[in-house]
Amino acid sequence: MRGEVRFLLDDAPRRLTQFDPTMTVLDYLRQVEHLTGTKEGCNEGDCGACTVVVAKPQNGRLRYQAVNACIQFLGTLDGCQLITVEHLAKAGKLHAVQQAMVDNHGSQCGFCTPGFVMSLFAMTRDFDEAPDDATIDDVLAGNLCRCTGYAPIARAAQAAYDLAPRDDAFTTGETETLEKLTALRDEETVEVGDGGKRRFLAPASLDDLAALYERHPEATLSAGSTDVGLRVTKQMKRPETLIYTGRVTELARLEETAEAIEIGAGVTYADALAILAQYYPDMGEVIRRIGSVQIRNTGTIGGNIANGSPIGDSPPLLIAAGATLHLRKGQARRSLPLEDFFLEYGKQDRQPGELVERISLPLPPEDTFFRAYKVSKRFDQDITAVLGAFSLTIEDGVVTSARLAYGGMAATPKRAALAEAALTGQPWSEATVKRAMAVLEADFQPLTDWRASGGYRMKAAQNLLYRCFIETTDPAVDTRLAGAALAGVGRGATG
């Protein structure tokens, strides 16, 4: 057991032996370090005003990622370097991304500016050359600005590359930083309390995590904290014991076998995107539209499943593709089809002290096509109103297998069993599809809420199936927004 969390604040070591386990990185920066350049806007991961960059050793290099400090817990910094807007200018000289913002008039009130600067800084570490406009939009989708407008900021993103953004202290100091971070890392479970009963625990191995969670089933597990963080900042929950899973290397594993992609529960969207897009381009595109770069850098697929939300994006995708969920409690393991995990609203087939270990996603079989569509009010950085994911096997023009999974249509992510039956064994024709669309009304009675009315949801769900039919029978018809072209691009672990 190690009784301290240790990290680098820029290049200064920090060792913390006592803190509130749900203190956020943002509160720590502003209230403890008095570094107030990082701003608080929404405090829920939406606006990007709090964007900071966290660097971690990976494959002998440093990997820099933009994250939302407002929903990251302080203890998650263990073994990492935290970089804020205060750390970019060195020896009185602005960093290239800051200078480019000045030169291009990229800031007015400036409340959002530190967050934009940090997103741009992370971008320059991720891309060797100025990325195209669509990628810059994607990089900036998690930063909101109400005054300047985005055009000057997007221009600054490109102009930063003319100022050699990597010709900086972070590049010259990378080897030294790597050595310092490597020295901070170990296999011990971290345990730091607040001086009272509350504590932050961070095991480094799956065995330790499973044993710890079995012993403390009342604890709150936290992976990317893009859901758990909001329970703290918005619902004022203060769990006594927080177990962070982000140090467990086994959970971050992403492996490809002859039959399946094995996705550890702690794999982030950013890491999963490239491989999922390779085998399931539509899955890649939906994942690219989950939250923002900041959210995808920390949010995990395991967290998206475990929270059981009926509007989580990955469950319908994975259910349609026939994924299997693997759970573990102590030493006991069990597996089930993912759709069976979701029992009713807020209730999943998970025992106290049982964790999600991994997901097996079968590689797409021959003669099977996969389509997925997310409908939300905004194209990027928005929560789903309806999501349809379809996996259909068609042999000699006849549907031999149909898996239609929807999000936002019921109290859980759910298959449309009656519509599937209406398709199976039938010719893949407009008449068959229209019958299945009608049958969807017996499969679902969607709710009305502020995202969409029940009637809208039903119409959208039906039309998504029709869209799938058009795309597979008449590919020349243009059914996609231009942004969808990013599907195959995806920044993965190697940036």
Ligand X SMILES: Cc1cc2nc3c(=O)[nH]c(=O)nc-3n(C[C@H](O)[C@H](O)[C@H](O)COP(=O)(O)OP(=O)(O)OC[C@H]3O[C@@H](n4cnc5c(N)ncnc54)[C@H](O)[C@@H]3O)c2cc1C
Rounded distance between C-alpha atoms, residue 157 and residue 161, angstroms: 7
- Contact flag: residue 143 with ligand X (CB under 6 A): no
- Contact flag: residue 107 with ligand FES (CB under 6 A): yes
Q: Which of residues 50, 88, 295, 440 is near ligand X by CB under 6 A?
A: 295
By CB under 6 A, the residues from 374 to 393 that bind ligand X are 383
62 vs 145 by CB, closer to ligand FES: 145
- Contact flag: residue 138 with ligand X (CB under 6 A): no
Runs of H (alpha helix) within 185-335: 206-215, 228-233, 269-279, 281-288, 293-298, 301-306, 314-320
Rounded distance between C-alpha atoms, residue 67 and residue 403, angstroms: 35
CB of 4 to ligand FES, least distance (A): 26
Q: Which amino acid is at 109?
A: C
Q: Which of residues 119, 148, 245, 314 is near ligand FES by CB under 6 A?
A: 148
Task: For residue 144, give the H/E element and its range.
Answer: none
**Residue 147's binding partner out of ligand FES, ligand X, none, with CB under 5 to 8 Å set by partner kind:** ligand FES
Which residues are registered as beta bridge partners of 192?
200
Q: Which of residues 62, 83, 112, 261 is near ligand FES by CB under 6 A?
A: 112
Where do we find the tokens 């690219």? 288
- Contact flag: residue 146 with ligand FES (CB under 6 A): yes
CB of 303 to ligand FES, least distance (A): 17
By CB under 6 A, the residues from 314 to 373 that bind ligand X are 355-356
CB of 117 to ligand FES, least distance (A): 11
Parallel, antiparallel, or unpaired for β 355-362 and 368-375? Answer: unpaired
144 vs 356 by CB, closer to ligand FES: 144
Q: What is the dihedral of CA 383, 462, 373, 48, to 10 degrees?
A: -10
Both tokens of 52, joined, read 């900071």
- Contact flag: residue 302 with ligand X (CB under 6 A): yes
108 vs 307 by CB, closer to ligand FES: 108
Residue 172: partners with Cβ closer than 8 Å, 6 or more residues away: none
Residue 414: partners with Cβ closer than 8 Å, 6 or more residues away: 339, 342, 405, 406, 443, 444
Q: Which of residues 36, 108, 426, 463 is near ligand FES by CB under 6 A?
A: 108
- Contact flag: residue 40 with ligand FES (CB under 6 A): yes
Q: Which of residues 245, 360, 432, 462 is near ligand X by CB under 6 A?
A: 245
Q: Specify burial of residue 107 (Cβ count, 10 A radius: 0-12, 13-18, 19+).
A: buried
Rounded distance between C-alpha atoms, residue 363 and residue 357, angstroms: 19
- Contact flag: residue 53 with ligand FES (CB under 6 A): no
Site residues (CB under 6 A) for ligand X?
44-46, 220-228, 230, 245, 265, 290-291, 295, 298-300, 302-304, 306-307, 312-313, 355-356, 383
Site residues (CB under 6 A) for ligand FES?
40-43, 45-50, 68, 70, 107-113, 145-148
